[in-house]
Amino acid sequence: MTVPSQDVAFVRRHLGWSIALGGLAIVVVVGLLFDWNWFRPLVEARFSAALGRAVTIDHLGVQLSRTPLVTLDHMIVANPPDFPPDSHLGEIDKVSFRVDLKKLLGGTLVIPELTIDHPVSRLERSPSGEPNWKLAGIADGDSSAAPPQIGRLTINDGHAHLTDPVIKSDVEMTLKTELNADGVSEVVLQGKGTYSGAPTAVNLRGGSLLSLRQADVRYPIDLRWDVGPTHMRLTGSVDDPASFAGLDGMLDMSGPDLAKLYPMLGLAMPPSPPYHLKGKLAYADRVVRFINFSGSLGSSDLAGTLSVDTKGDRPRLEGDLNSRRLVFADLAGFVGGAPGKPDAPNATPQRKAIAEEAKASDKALPATRIDLNKLNSMNARVTYRGKRIQADYLPIDDLTADLTLENGRLQLQPLNFGVGKGTIALKVDIDSHVNPPRVDVRSDFRHLDLQRIMQQTKTFEGSVPSAAMPTSSAMAARSPSSWRMAMAASPW
């Protein structure tokens, strides 16, 4: 007997559907009854290898779908071995995320949704001084392995506490995601406490899109960091935030003294009067550039470009600076004195007190000590040009300075002052490798108008005719107060 072809097709079609539905039912039943905690040791091992720390999870759950939902309950990340055994770096009440199976079968880990509930972390140092936030697994891992691509990120009620006696810091921080005025989810970090012994506050807002390997995706940031009277505001965007591959933004910074930036940025800057600078900030290939900035330094204007290369054993500062109008007193910090004019509108109380102390002193040269740690903390090459100089005690018209700091040796060669048609040229060499530091200052005076100098410095009463001074003159002032161009044994 021959079975009609249409009946065969009907049977095959329904048989296929029956097998598919039966298989789906089996998968659903297995998914409901299967204990995913059997895979928990494997998941813990993978996290531990990635972080370089022991990671434990109380419960592992999976809800099957086209994008399965994975849930990890009570995850704990341990501290390094030299910490107390009952301490840990952090813990999270729950981590839940979805996985794109189609992309995963193609070799790419895509996480469309990631939710982190109540992460808590304690950042501190061990008794030996080692920080627990340095994760060896991440630092030493295979950089060729692409990190996961994360879509929507949600962080609920995150907390962190940083204590670091090395930098005299104790900061409490909160971390969460929230919707902005446009309905876009943003990551929000806020912190308060002390940094380098001074009150500090930090506020950071950033986009929540963390597609880390897409070159066309830029991560927006808005950062405000205050340490005592020093204020920084950075707005812009970051390329590849997981590895911090690049940054492009605008920086607005102000404070009472450039030297106070050392604990914040690790840059050994000389004492200065109050400053306010704005410019473009860029980062790439471990080089930070402050480009075409402008602003004020005391009563002077200041503009130029600075870059810091962090690839070597110590950071290297390169700079090209200039001022259209320079008040000479604002540079006193470069030569060991108190920077800025004490009667300037933005003069700090400390500056006024130092001025009174210097006025009462019988010393012609400042007695500031050299900070050898700062001199050996970085290398530098900076040029400076001052086009018009205002000096109370010397008739200086312009200034040119080339500063080099290399392996603890500071050189100002040359440091040239223009006085009419003449010049005062100095060469300063400070070597911090010996104790006390060796200081060598050489001067060269050429074609100076003595009448102009003596009238402004009031070295002599009456009139003195002009004269041209020969090279390498050993000219000395009659009164210590008449020459305030003092080269001290310590710039900073």
| Per-residue confidence (pLDDT) for residue 408, from 0 to 100 | 82
C-alpha span between 380 and 407 (Å, rounded): 9
Top-confidence residue, 210 or 277: 277
| Per-residue confidence (pLDDT) for residue 289, from 0 to 100 | 94
Cβ–Cβ under 8 Å, residues 44 and 55:
yes
343 pLDDT band (50/70/90 cuts)? low
C-alpha span between 270 and 263 (Å, rounded): 13
| Per-residue confidence (pLDDT) for residue 137, from 0 to 100 | 55
**Tokens for 126?**
């061990």
* Cis bond upstream, residue 84 (ω within 30): no
329 pLDDT band (50/70/90 cuts)? confident
220 pLDDT band (50/70/90 cuts)? confident
pLDDT tens across 248-266, in order?
Answer: 999 999 999 988 888 888 7
Nearest of 233, 231, 232, 187 to residue 210 by alpha carbon? 187
Which stretches does DSSP call E strand in 165-286? 169-179, 185-195, 198-207, 218-227, 230-239, 246-255, 275-284
Top-confidence residue, 1 or 77: 77
Cβ–Cβ under 8 Å, residues 338 and 368:
no
| Per-residue confidence (pLDDT) for residue 482, from 0 to 100 | 29
Q: For residue 481, is pLDDT > 50?
A: no
Q: For residue 37, is pLDDT > 70?
A: yes
Top-confidence residue, 346 or 173: 173
Q: What's the half-sphere exposure (Cβ side, CA atoms, 13 Å) at 230?
A: 19
Q: For residue 50, is pLDDT > 90?
A: no
**Per-residue pLDDT averaged across 136-154, rounded?**
64
| Per-residue confidence (pLDDT) for residue 468, from 0 to 100 | 40
Average pLDDT, the chain: 77
Q: Three-state SS for 73?
A: strand
C-alpha span between 1 and 28 (Å, rounded): 41
427 pLDDT band (50/70/90 cuts)? confident
DSSP state letter for 129: S
Cβ–Cβ under 8 Å, residues 260 and 273:
no
| Per-residue confidence (pLDDT) for residue 35, from 0 to 100 | 78
